[in-house]
Amino acid sequence: MSPVSTSTKDGIAVITINNPPVNALSHAVREGLQTAVETCDGDDAVKAIVLICEGRTFIAGADIREFGQPPQAPHLPDVVNRIEACGKPVIAAIHGTALGGGLEVAMGCHFRIARPDAAVGLPEVKLGLLPGATGTQRLPRLTEVKTALDMMIAGDPLPAPQAFQAGIIDRLADGDLLDGALQYAQDLVAANVAPRRTRDLPVTPVAENFFADYRQSIVRKTRGLFAPQQIVTCVENALRLSFDEAVAEERRLFAECRNSPQSAGLRHAFFAEREAARVPGLGRDTPTRPLQSAAIIGAGTMGAGIAYACINAGMQVFLLDSDDAGLKRGTQTIEKLLAGGVERGKLDKAAAAACRQRLTTTSDYADLADVDIVIEAVFETMAIKKEVFGQLDAVCKPGAILATNTSTLDIDAIASATGRPKDVIGLHFFSPAHIMKLLEIVRGSHTADDVIATSLTLARRLGKIGVVVGNCFGFVGNRMLYSYGRENQLMLLEGAAPESIDKALHDWGMAMGPNAVGDLAGLDVGYKVRQERTDLPDDPRFYRVANKLAEMGRYGQKTGKGMYLYEAGSRQPIPDPLVHDLIKAEADALGIEQRDISAEEIVERCIYGLIVEGTRILQDGIASRPGDIDVIWMYGYGFPRHRGGPMHYADSIGLDKVYARVCEFRDRFGPMYWEPPALLRELAESGRSFADLAAESG
């Protein structure tokens, strides 16, 4: 059956789209919609048309199942133009979200009515695209040029009341949407109102330097991205070209965006994020455990951030610390976060007060007897964590989930301190825990399936992306980080200044350079972890500079000096000649002759180091899919989303080229770090990619 149907009531045709779950613009929908409009346009009994959708939303965009496939006629721009060309008033009735092509269809209609709780938007930029079905030309004709640009550059939905104020929506429905739309249609017919075609509306003029200033204003937040500047060009065209000429340019620039590596990377990121929620071997019908209450062990910055995230998600939370001063600091941290949420409009005062009511502080483990989940966030020391888990095992109820926030340590070793290893799991939050979206979910050898399923549910409840990984030192993210950081540290000794390395990687797209990140996280943190390890390489160069700085008490921003200097109250890194001298002295002591290192080599060694270790992780079965690694590095470590993550980036280069370069590094720097994994060699020699590997594994 067609997903588009038509009925008539009192001379008003109602075209209904029913294509669950989000009424996506599949080929069948486009074809059915165009046919329905043409039929109604030719029916003399029809005086006006209402376009409405069944289910929970209006058209929420393109059909993702058709991504990457050759487009089939009718193409969406032709459907939108056919709707607009209709000789009778066409009213879009919007509920839920009208996004992307959905809003373009609505703008092709002559009038728009929406429920007050609806939202509209053009999010194509998030996939490295621009609105390619006349959206860049219609939106600035319905609202101010800056409003249109802001919507398309951010890609975020605009609530219907704001869209009404902006002129994008013509009427807000008071009561039932269909009844309101039918009444709107009858009003238009009674007043003999002709179709109001968006293409014929003028674009409000702007100042001569408006577009130059606007381009400059978005440079920072769109750093390195291709599509945003093309969107600005399209809107400029709305003022200087005819509608049809500007639409032709829109299609040309849309094709450029669609065929760009950036769009490929962003589309990969979109699908990889969706796929990460599907854990191989874990059925969708796997039961979950109740999650009404939680206990957080440790009231430091991480523990307080996790506690805030949980109370903000409606959970009853116990925050436990053995030290009263620690509890006081943790409570103060949570208070600051609540106050900040209110100030930024994320919370109202009543919601903040309710959050406070859900928080209880304690130093008594007995108070945790009835909680559903415990998340430990104490020092990254195995002995301390085992002691904590022994106490939890003694007091927590049967079936309570015992989670550790460890970032590196063996989950099975921690679980061995309990008599219930099936209830133990790793929940590796990233700092700041209330902001960072990644949650690395680490399954131990005995972790029960329902514990994994419940942890994924918790991630969603906290607004995070959960990725399930296997158990090894550092899991996925931090295990790879050692390879990335190692090359940074080696290049320091070889002659690259900290600021040169950071600039090269930031310019390439990383959120921050590795030396600035180290200072932000605290050089003492990594130092303490390395002191606990017994499997470090027998290499005096390994993290030598970072170790020396930590031993000098230069921990980074927290001490005002680390790899860089920091002025009081500032996070701006200042290069320090003392650090340059220290690095030179250490290089001399090791007999390393320093040299100039190009930005290209800096990027290749750091990023290829990630790729090599990521391949080993796949080879070891620690990650289920290459895309899971990409999601972890994009959301946890600031890898540029438009590059799709390290494994997709390797595919975009070509694994044969990556393998050849890794072999060059092995021959130049030795096999200790650069021996190519067997999986990389196999894929390169067979002409396959990581994407092929993922498809083969299902």
- Residues designated as active site: 104, 124
Tokens read off for 570 = 């500032």
Q: Give the residue among 478, 417, 472, 415 at the shortest CA–CA distance from 448.
A: 415
Q: What is the DSSP letter of 465?
A: E
Q: For 322-353, give one letter per residue: b (16+ CB within 10 A) or e.
A: eeeebbebbbebbeebbeebbeeeebeeeebe
Cα separation, 260 vs 200, whole angstroms = 32
Going by the DSSP 8-state scheme, the letter that residue 640 receives in this structure is: -
194 dihedral zone (left: phi>0; alpha: psi -120 to 50; beta): beta
According to DSSP, residue 397 is labeled: P
How far is it, in rounded angstroms, from Cα 402 to Cα 375?
A: 6
Helices (H), 109-226: 135-142, 145-154, 160-166, 177-190, 210-217
Neighbours of 421 (CB within 10 A): 19
Contacts 24+ apart (CB under 8 A), 563-566: 563/498, 563/515, 563/516, 563/518, 563/519, 563/523, 564/498, 564/499, 564/515, 564/516, 564/519, 566/519
Instruction: Give the tokens for residue 567.
Output: 């002025």
- Return the C-alpha torsion angle 189, 190, 193, 196, nearest 10: -40
In 414-525, at which residue ranges do the beta strands (DSSP E only) sit?
A: 424-429, 438-443, 465-469
Token pair for 689: 């990619």
Residue type, 660: A
H/E segment holding residue 172:
strand 171-172
- Alpha-carbon Rg for the chain, nearest whole angstrom, is 28
β-partners of residue 293 are: 316
